[in-house]
A and B are shown apart, each in its own frame.
Chain A
Amino acid sequence: AQRVTQPEKLLSVFKGAPVELKCNYSYSGSPELFWYVQYSRQRLQLLLRHISRESIKGFTADLNKGETSFHLKKPFAQEEDSAMYYCAILGRGYNKLIFGAGTRLAVHP
């Protein structure tokens, strides 16, 4: 079965601290993984996808097939990073995303 697990509902850190939002997946084959972010009062938007290997707003995520993980990391959190973060996998047939339950990141001054 295809599944995405985000074990933490809430992650609370202080400004300047490192951040790691965990994501584990269950998928047979070559997965395509994404991180979406929803800031307060804004719509869900794509943050990054693993195939582009890019860094957006200082965030990076590495696909670890051995551990079936796609954790999102940032070395120094900013207050404006406070948001809901969703990890997602592209389902078979490439016509839907399968989302985790989300992690709320709260960055305190």
Chain B
Amino acid sequence: NAGVMQNPRHLVRRRGQEARLRCSPMKGHSHVYWYRQLPEEGLKFMVYLQKENIIDESGMPKERFSAEFPKEGPSILRIQQVVRGDSAAYFCASSTGQLSNQPQHFGDGTRLSIL
């Protein structure tokens, strides 16, 4: 089991472009979480998805950010019209069930840099 796979590891975009970050959960995991880490800060929860459903998006900015976890394929975090403040490390995690019972496994993250 390769664990949670995120790609790309590094992504550079110019202001105004779109950024697409991908996350393939561990085999057998149907729960996916996205976190953002700004420099010198801890990971901040963004969104929690189960297959084809957004369960909790309370940490997502209201505009330009969206996430999906289709029936087939990886989860995608999409940032439209990127700005400098979007520069951060974006981490994906997955679990088999609720976090009170199941551990959360993290990917290596995607480092997004905005020029």
Per DSSP, are chain B's interface residues mostly helix, strand or loop, or mixed?
loop
Chain B contacts for A102, CB-based, 8 A: 42
Pick the interface stretch among A13-21, A60-68, A74-82, A87-95. A87-95
Against B, the Cβ 8 Å flags (1 = close, 0 = not) of A85-109 are 0100011011111111110000000
- B56: CB under 8 A from chain A? yes
Is B106 located at the chain interface by the 8 A CB criterion?
yes
| B99 touching A46, Cβ below 8 Å | no
Contact B104 A97 (CB under 8 A): yes
- Residues of B within 8 Å of A, CB-based: how many? 24
Within 8 A of A (CB), among B29-63: 33, 35, 40-45, 48, 55-56, 59
Given the complex of chains A and B, what is the CA–CA distance between A48 and B4 in angstroms?
Answer: 20
A45 touches B106 (CB 8 A): yes
* Residue in chain A with minimal CB distance to B48: A95
Q: With the chains together, A27 CA to B10 CA distance in Å? A: 35
User: A residues bordering B, Cβ < 8 Å?
Assistant: 4, 6, 9, 32, 43-46, 86, 90-91, 93-102
